[in-house]
Chain A
């Protein structure tokens, strides 16, 4: 089985731009969650989707949004980028609803200049 695939691997943007990150979960996994990782704040939960519905949302501003498609692939979007949005964005999938074991992608390293 292929693992969780995140694209792109690296991204450089400038302040004010917007960005869309993509995540393809492991085949058969219906839950996808997103995390932001920075040296100062650690791993912060962004949101989680299950069967196209957002089940949980972290404490991030409305500039951060996401969605999940019928094939379980997920995208997250960040609008009006700020310097502080520079981070490693990680996507994780799990087979069921209770997320007892998360399978992570390699992440998208976003740099905002």
Chain B
């Protein structure tokens, strides 16, 4: 099974609302990354948080990491229709392992 598991599997919100996605993993990590994928395309790196960091911001993105619970969350604030995509967490410990993803739909 995948190292990272996202929750929820699917999320549907209205434009302007915030979207929160969670990721759990099983083993020790060096860092955790979040990626976005538009339908049928490659993944785009969004943000990386290292194991010694607890929170990181990038524009409308906020990522938290709790190594004691082996979990991370991605918050997208003031969502836009263009944020509609699948979001994946990936852990790196010698190799990158991806979760199953959360499909986010933002309705205009």
Contacts and interface: CB of A to CB of B under 8 A. Distances in A.
A107 interface: yes
A106 B41 CA distance: 5
B96 to A, nearest CB: 5
Query: Which DSSP category, helix, strand, loop or mixed, fits chain B's interface?
Result: strand
User: Main SS of chain A's interface residues?
Assistant: strand
Interface of B: 2, 30-31, 33, 35, 40-45, 48, 88, 90, 92, 94-101
Interface residues of A, number: 23
Contacts of A48: 95
A100 B92 contact: yes
Interface string A84-99: 0000101010000011
29 contacts: A4-B42, A33-B96, A42-B2, A42-B98, A42-B101, A45-B95, A45-B96, A45-B98, A48-B95, A55-B95, A56-B94, A56-B95, A92-B42, A92-B96, A98-B92, A99-B96, A101-B45, A102-B35, A102-B43, A102-B45, A102-B90, A102-B96, A104-B35, A104-B42, A104-B44, A106-B41, A107-B40, A107-B41, A107-B42
